[in-house]
Amino acid sequence: MWLKSWLKLIFSRTWVPLTITLILEFIAFEILGSLQGQPGFASLSTTILILNQLSIFGIMAVGMNLVIISGGIDLSIGSISAISGVISALVTVHLHIDSPIYILISYIAGVAIGLITGSIIGSLIAFIEIPPFIVTLAFMSLLRGLANIITAGKPISPLPENFLFLGRGQFLNTIPISIVIFILVFLWGYLVLNYTRLGRHIYAIGGNEVSAKLSGVPIRKTKLLVYIACSGLSALAGIILASRMGSGSPKVGIGDELAVIASVVIGGTSLSGGKGTIWGTLLGLCVVFTLNTGLNWIGVETFGQQVTLGLVILTAILVDKIQAKLKTSNE
């Protein structure tokens, strides 16, 4: 009985095991780093570094969270970020003017590509009723190919100084602008899911689409808006990444969908839809990127990081199953 009560205490809320995991990560990497002669992992500078690294993925994760809660999936976000960064960089280079207004035009052009793509993807899913996996898988390949055709497989550079503001600029000379943008996007996602009719519709569709339809929820409109939002945020993330790198490259974003989906799922969002929170996604992002940063800190190679990420995803799925069983037993 005591074991069951302990499990209920730990797994009754997703944030509990995630918070414990995050604390243990900082402690473990601080100890391991100290043993290797490089202490200081558990510090403010490392925390800002982690937040800066996860900010671009976090912007995409907010959109992905909406999609998965609605019962869908989007595998094209990495390719959308790549082509949006490429288009934004291409417009900047062709304008030949390093002015904030013209740089803003290039940013808008990149985001517009994402919004248009999201409209097409959402329409195919919502109105023609093609499965999201198939549609977004096709666009993952299609957009990546277009990005390579447009650039002939080479990055577009150099980019003017003003273009680098989103990726390299700092607020009050301390906090990277990308973190500020992520916080704003995060707050937007929180408000949408918790305080708007659209948020209620997203949860309703993901929970039971048939019941939602009978209740008068606009299924097609909601799905369309969800994919437009996801693609638009992915485009914004791609522009920030191009700004940080100083070039628009067709090679970026490959495999980003795995890290984003992993963070969302680890954060407690169910792949079957209808369940998830924006705060859980934030914690999931922190767990994943603290893990990646910590493994780099102690010198673990990329392949080892991939294995570890896979194990973390499996653990998250097990935790989700335990929570479901505990909920069933309570009922």
Instruction: Output the pLDDT for position 315.
Output: 73
Instruction: Output the pLDDT for position 191.
Output: 96
Could you write out the three-class secondary structure of the chain? CHHHHHHHHHHCCCHHHHHHHHHHHHHHHHHHHHHCCCCCCCCHHHHHHHHHHHHHHHHHHHHHHHHHHCCCCCCCHHHHHHHHHHHHHHHHHHHCCCCHHHHHHHHHHHHHHHHHHHHHHHHHHHCCCCCHHHHHHHHHHHHHHHHHHHHCCCCECCCCHHHHHHHHCEECCCEEHHHHHHHHHHHHHHHHHHHCHHHHHHHHHHHCHHHHHHCCCCHHHHHHHHHHHHHHHHHHHHHHHHHHHCCECCCCCCCHHHHHHHHHHHCCCCCCCCCCCHHHHHHHHHHHHHHHHHHHHCCCCHHHHHHHHHHHHHHHHHHHHHHHHHHHHHC
Residue 221 structural domain = 53-318
Among 61-75, 121-135, 266-280, the least confident range? 266-280
Average pLDDT over residues 169-175: 85
Q: Decide if pLDDT at 146 tops 70.
A: yes
Average pLDDT over residues 155-174: 88
**Is 286 a member of any domain?**
yes
**Is 14 a member of any domain?**
no
Q: Decide if pLDDT at 243 tops 70.
A: yes
Q: Decide if pLDDT at 4 tops 60.
A: no
Q: Are 120 and 127 in contact (CB under 8 A)?
A: no
State the CB neighbour count (10 A cutoff) for residue 249. Answer: 23
Q: How many domains is the chain partitioned into structurally?
A: 1
Q: Decide if pLDDT at 6 tops 60.
A: no
Taking the C-alpha atoms of residue 241 and residue 289, their distance in angstroms, rounded to an integer, is 16
Instruction: Output the pLDDT for position 11.
Output: 53
Average pLDDT over residues 260-287: 89
Taking the C-alpha atoms of residue 221 and residue 217, their distance in angstroms, rounded to an integer, is 9
Over residues 80-119, the pLDDT tens digits come to 999 999 999 999 988 777 788 889 999 999 999 999 999 9
Instruction: Output the pLDDT for position 90.
Output: 93
Q: Are 74 and 227 in contact (CB under 8 A)?
A: yes
**Is 16 a member of any domain?**
no
- Identify the CATH number of the domain in which residue 140 sits: 1.10.3470
**Is 38 a member of any domain?**
no
**Is 36 a member of any domain?**
no
Q: Which residue has better confidence, 17 or 205?
A: 205
- Tell me the pLDDT of the chain averaged across its residues: 87
Q: Which residue has better confidence, 67 or 272?
A: 67
Instruction: Output the pLDDT for position 10.
Output: 52
Q: Decide if pLDDT at 124 tops 80.
A: yes
Q: Which residue has better confidence, 136 or 265?
A: 136
pLDDT band at 153 (very low <50, low <70, confident <90, very high): confident
pLDDT band at 326 (very low <50, low <70, confident <90, very high): low
Instruction: Output the pLDDT for position 12.
Output: 54
Average pLDDT over residues 310-318: 74
**Is 244 a member of any domain?**
yes
Over residues 46-64, the pLDDT tens digits come to 888 889 889 999 999 999 9
Q: Decide if pLDDT at 196 tops 90.
A: yes
Q: Decide if pLDDT at 245 tops 90.
A: yes
Q: Decide if pLDDT at 319 tops 90.
A: no
**Is 48 a member of any domain?**
no
**Is 287 a member of any domain?**
yes
Q: Decide if pLDDT at 121 tops 60.
A: yes
